[in-house]
Amino acid sequence: MAKKRKIRADFRKNRAIRARRTSWTRSFQQHGFEDEAPLLNERISGKGDLTRRRTVTGNQAGNDEQPGLGVQLDVDLQCCRPGRVLAVKGLISLVADAQGEVSRCATRRLLKTLATDQRHVVVAGDRVMFRPVEHSQPKEGIIERIEPRSRSICRASRGRQHSIVTNVDQLLIVASIAEPRLKPNLIDRLIVAAEKGGVRPVICINKIDLADPAAVQPLVGVYSQLGYQVLLLSAETGFGVERFQRALAHKESVVAGQSGVGKSSLLNAVDPGLKLRVEAVSHETEKGRHTTTTAELLPLAFGGWVVDTPGIRQFQLWDVATEEVPGFFRDLRPYVSRCRFPDCTHTHEGECAVKDAVADGRIDERRYESYCHILSDGGG
């Protein structure tokens, strides 16, 4: 690790105190001005209260090392210990130390006020340094530093980065063949988010007991040919549950998908000790109800960790430029360099190798439609 040094860091707008004093009348009525020394001069510089930059002790973390934060603060290793964030519930984070003891931790104000594009500074899966509060029951502490992240799943939320989970090995994308209906475009968006975050995607199609499995074989064939692992499952009948368990064993996984597709039901099927809450899908709307409200890192009885996430209805990609989108589609990638124009978007240009491959049946038409939808949203 690099030697600690003092660096200038950007802070949020509300870090500085109010620039203008507005309580002159109240001060005069209560105390008067006769005891105050007159202000003879005033200096405005870049190091005063009017700036949003402060000097902190730590390391400058690059965007590839710790996206969105940019600063790794220095901490006292004598009184801090390493931990893993299991869940974030409001202002409190549940942090487990190396012995498995869980502490309710607040976040250091300096971390919360650093300028960042992130919606939340601390997320499930973060590795942190926290300072325990002595003799507290239940155990409490203060998160002093967030360690560099890797392999994160992120989405865009009102123009900011919403990190759903970080430091995981694989993303299990759960969809259902019916109730609610299958949304291939959402699967493709989650695949792009996984590829962007360096996480291995696994496609899980649940509730195959509600329809003929042959109906989804063309879709399964497309993803399998691209090299993605596809699991056909039924939490109701137990079909494929053993394969689902083997996919989870001894790995750190995150399960994501629409509400009502059976994410919690599948996890309960492989590990009944989790006792996750489930509810039936509405027959009127064929939409699921939100039973999981917080992303939480859960230990599995057969080894490994899993994060059960709240249901997703819309997923907007984060930090994916339109020029990058073809690179995240494995079926489009071989044809991109064969187009006539080097800046071809593969939508309206002539002599486009990608469109020719779609017309010839070498690229699945539905996958190309997903690509066009993502491109129309501006990438991410």
pTM score, whole prediction:
0.82
CATH number of 153-308: 3.40.50.300
The Cα–Cα gap between 333 and 119 comes to 32
Element (H, E) at 335: helix 333-336
The Cα–Cα gap between 287 and 290 comes to 10
Q: 285: number of CA atoms within 13 Å, CB side?
A: 8
Q: Can you give the residue ranges of every domain in the chain? A: 71-146, 153-308, 325-376
Burial 23-60 (b: 16+ CB within 10 A, else e): eeeeeeeeeeeeeeeeeeeeeeeeeeeeeeebebebbe
Confidence category of residue 81, pLDDT binned at 50, 70, 90: very high
Give 42-76 pLDDT, tens digit per residue.
555 555 454 566 666 666 665 444 444 666 777 78
CB neighbour class for 63 (10 Å; exposed up to 12, middle 13-18, buried from 19):
exposed
Give 105-119 pLDDT, tens digit per residue.
999 888 887 767 777
Level-2 CATH architecture, domain 71-146: Beta Barrel (2.40)
Give 237-268 pLDDT, tens digit per residue.
999 999 999 999 999 999 999 988 999 999 99
Q: According to the CATH classification, is domain 325-376 in 3.30.450.40?
A: no
Matching residue, tokens 């995607």 = 201
